[in-house]
Amino acid sequence: QVQLVESGGGLVQPGGSLRLSCAASGNIFSIYSLGWYRQAPGKQRELVANIVIGGSTNYADPVKGRFTISSDKAKNTVYLQMNSLKPEDTAVYYCNALSEDVVTTQNYWGQGTQVTVSS
């Protein structure tokens, strides 16, 4: 089992910055990918960015050049640095982890943290 706890959400003005954190616990050794998703009101949940452990990063087009995903192995934490925030970035942001076991791939989610970009 993997548990994910997000923090760092809040209210920020357009053009501002915010950093989200997601701390993982449990069977962290099984995790092979960490990512951030977001869901705006009336919209489906969408991928923002993900990082494959020991591999590459991937970003959705709307956030390229503005957001950066990173991880700290010592703290079992993944971050999302969000710069030049826009009102359309407003959403609930969810941390995601993919893990492998002997049977199947497991998909874990954090509880979500609200990000509101408004003047």
* Half-sphere exposure in the Cβ direction for 110 (13 Å, CA): 28
The 8-class DSSP code of residue 27 comes to: S
Name the pairing type of β-strands 46-52 and 105-109. Answer: unpaired
Question: What share of the chain in percent tops pLDDT 70?
Answer: 100
In this prediction, residue 115 has a pLDDT band, given cuts at 50, 70 and 90, of: very high
Q: Are β-strands 113-117 and 10-12 bridged in parallel, bridged antiparallel, or unpaired?
A: parallel
Q: Is the pLDDT of residue 101 over 90?
A: no
Phi, psi of 85 (to 5 degrees): -65, 145
Summarised one tens digit per residue, pLDDT across range 28-76 is: 889 999 999 999 999 999 999 999 988 899 999 999 999 999 998 888 9
Lowest mean pLDDT among 26-30, 83-87, 94-98: 26-30
At 103 the pLDDT is 82
Phi, psi angle pair for 93, to nearest 5°: -100, 130
User: Smallest Cα–Cα separation from 51: which of 23, 80, 24?
Assistant: 80
